[in-house]
């Protein structure tokens, strides 16, 4: 059920027990959803007693927020890096979609929480991640805009095209399972081609 946790995940979260709790929460939230997961589930999966969670987090909601926030920040950073990268709008959009899709597959547990547990966040917590989400979408729109102005993309409506591009990637988190072939990196490349075709790229 649980895959080995990469050591580079949440390097800033200390102590180690807090990271283990977050990793256990990711598995549980992704599999059953935030509301169906109990604090006992999380603590037990991390090898601790139920009370241990409250040594490191003030509440169950704070665990969700920590996961959702860092996931949103990672997603935005990826998209911004692809936008700022070298190459034509076509090349940069291809790289953006390939990496975004690959992330939604590889980290589909985190991605599921990021994309599908927004309604479980408090109003204050939601405001923080909503701002990150708006920035992410704005970057995609800006890149399509650039391609349209350069004459390499042909789309009827930039706003809808951006939504469609993001939908393709985000929805991967919903259906992806680790046994799916091709593997995430190759899947990302195929989706990048589909996305560029959809944008009418030459």
Binding site for its own copies (CB under 8 A): 31-33, 35-36, 115-116, 119-120, 156-157, 160-161, 163-164, 167-168, 170-172, 174-175, 187, 190-191, 193-195, 197-198, 200
157's tokens: 């409506």
Q: Which is nearer to DNA, 64 or 162 (CB)?
A: 64
Contact 99, 78 (CB under 8 A): yes
In 3D, which of 169, 164, 163, 162 has the Cα closest to residue 187?
Answer: 169
- Identify what 66 binds: DNA, its own copies, none; CB under 5 to 8 Å per kind: none
Place of tokens 């999966």: 45
Please, what is the end-to-end C-alpha distance for the chain in angstroms? 43
In the complex, least distance from residue 7 CB atom to its own copies, rounded to whole angstroms: 29
- Identify what 134 binds: its own copies, DNA, none; CB under 5 to 8 Å per kind: none
φ/ψ of 112, rounded to 5, equals -60, -40
In the complex, least distance from residue 1 CB atom to DNA, rounded to whole angstroms: 18
Contact 113, 105 (CB under 8 A): no
Site string for DNA, 33-62 (x = CB under 7 A): ----xxxx--x---xxxxxx-xxx-xxxx-
115: contact with DNA by CB under 7 A: no
Distance CA(21)–CA(192), nearest Å, equals 35
- Identify what 33 binds: DNA, its own copies, none; CB under 5 to 8 Å per kind: its own copies
In the complex, least distance from residue 156 CB atom to its own copies, rounded to whole angstroms: 6
Contact 21, 57 (CB under 8 A): yes
Contact 106, 6 (CB under 8 A): no
In the complex, least distance from residue 44 CB atom to DNA, rounded to whole angstroms: 9
In 3D, which of 11, 189, 25 has the Cα closest to residue 97?
Answer: 189
- Identify what 175 binds: its own copies, DNA, none; CB under 5 to 8 Å per kind: its own copies
Q: Which is nearer to DNA, 40 or 159 (CB)?
A: 40
In the complex, least distance from residue 167 CB atom to its own copies, rounded to whole angstroms: 4
């Amino acid at each position: 059920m649980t895959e080995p946790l990469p050591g580079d995940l949440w390097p800033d979260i200390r102590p180690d027990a807090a990271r283990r709790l977050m990793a256990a929460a990711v598995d549980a939230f992704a599999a059953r959803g935030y509301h169906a997961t109990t604090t006992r589930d999380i603590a037990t999966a991390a090898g601790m007693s139920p009370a241990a969670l409250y040594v490191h987090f003030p509440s169950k909601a704070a665990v969700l927020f920590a996961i959702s926030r860092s996931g949103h920040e990672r997603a935005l950073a990826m998209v911004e890096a692809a936008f700022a990268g070298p190459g034509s709008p076509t090349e940069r959009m291809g790289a953006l979609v390939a990496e975004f899709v690959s992330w939604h597959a590889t980290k589909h547990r985190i991605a599921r929480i990021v994309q599908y547990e927004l309604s479980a966040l408090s109003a204050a917590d939601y405001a923080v991640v909503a701002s990150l989400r708006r920035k992410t979408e704005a970057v995609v729109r800006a890149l399509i805009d650039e391609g349209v102005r350069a004459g390499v993309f042909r789309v009827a409506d930039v706003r809808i095209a951006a939504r469609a591009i993001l939908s393709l990637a985000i929805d991967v988190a919903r259906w992806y399972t680790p046994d799916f072939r091709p593997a995430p990196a190759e899947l990302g490349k195929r989706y990048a081609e589909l996305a560029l075709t959809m944008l009418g790229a030459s």
